[in-house]
Amino acid sequence: DGTAALPPGEGGGNSPPLRGGEFSVGGAKIVAINVPLDRAKWIELRRPALRANLRWTRGRLKPGVRLMAVVKANAYGHGAAEVSQLAEKAGAACLGVLDIEEGVELRRSGIRSPILVLSPVLPGRARDAVRHGLETTADSMELLRALDRAAAPGRRQPVHVDVDSGLRRWGVAPAQAPRFLAALKRFPRLELRGLSTHIDYMPGKNAVEAELKLRQFQRLAAWTRARWPRVLCHAANSSILMDFPQWQLDMVRIGNLLYGINPTKRPLPLRNPWRFYARIISLGEVGKGRPIGYASEFVAPRRMMVAALPVGYSDGLTLEPSERWIGLGAGTRYWGMLRGRPVPFIGRCAISHVLVDVSRVPRPRIGEAVLLPVRRTAASPRIPRVYVE
């Protein structure tokens, strides 16, 4: 309907209602924020932050190294089609998705870049992968046979062979990889496009082991390039790129860094594009000693002003730790923000609502928006994404 409202700033009060188009607020240009005034919850996504993270990440790459933008899980909740378009314009060589459905959705949204399905597809879906022009990850002869049968005459289906370096989720064992790769020559309609692995590395925990596995993969990559000179070898995700920049190989697969999530133990100049908001739908005072919520598990330690928000675990709010959010002491583990002030969660998180303590916010009002620490990949796709320029 063209009506829009700016969410409250983290450091100040609410902005007035605005009507569609372009606005100037404090010197900043705001473009078409399509959030009706009666919208109870939404996710705000900032395009400039995504672009900045893409530029910064590309700046870390050696000359000739390609960037794969990982947009699986709806681009970590940021909207796969929107992020893919930004990544295309920023020079990403290809996109990474988890399954065929995600790849098909991108094709239907108009994405023309190469798309790699990062996990093995079911052999029965080989024709779907070929029909939609998706590159595929393979680790079994059964899948190779299915892809070869499905490939169109006169065209070769690109295949990436994954090597299991310890995660044990999928991939060919390192010792068996040369034989598996050699078997590809039996399938005239398949083309070896890539050789990949995913190192089971956790920053600050197993760096020596990760280095050894990367060296092992490099030896296999050298053996493969000698036989398939055009193959793309890739092992680096965001944490490997940051902590082992010498192992960029031919391509890096980047997710966390693009979304402003720091995978390392040191500070990085990333920008957070993500904001999850829900409006207060009810307010009420609770006296000291009164129980609150299901099973009366929470008892008010003092007189409190309590606000109800229409968001719960069905929206992805699990009250589990989320990046950049910290606790406020015993009994108040996680919290939201209202006008730049912390509002702790109280009681249990229900399927579609949660309660927060707004006692320390002067004169809270129904309709004000609270910033919430919803884990991005868990946020319900039903919640509207609002892209801010």
The residues carrying an active-site annotation are: 72, 294
**Residue type, position 247, single letter:** W
The three-state secondary structure class of 329 is: coil
Of 115, 79, 77, 86, the closest CA to residue 98 belongs to 115
Phi-psi region of 74 (alpha: psi -120 to 50; beta: other; left: phi over 0): left
* Distance (Å, whole) CA 129 – CA 59: 32
* Distance (Å, whole) CA 382 – CA 169: 29
Q: What are the b/e assignments for 49-75, b being 16+ CB within 10 Å?
A: bbbbbbebbeebbeeebbbbbbbbbbb
Count CB-CB contacts under 10 A for residue 173. 11
Helices 80-89, 100-108: axis angle to 10 degrees equals: 70
Count CB-CB contacts under 10 A for residue 358. 24
**Residue type, position 376, single letter:** R
Estimate to the nearest angstrom the gap between the alpha carbon of 336 and the chain centroid: 21
Residue 165 CA neighbour count, 13 Å, CB half: 23
* Distance (Å, whole) CA 263 – CA 374: 18
Write out the H or E segment, with its range, that includes residue 234. Answer: strand 232-236
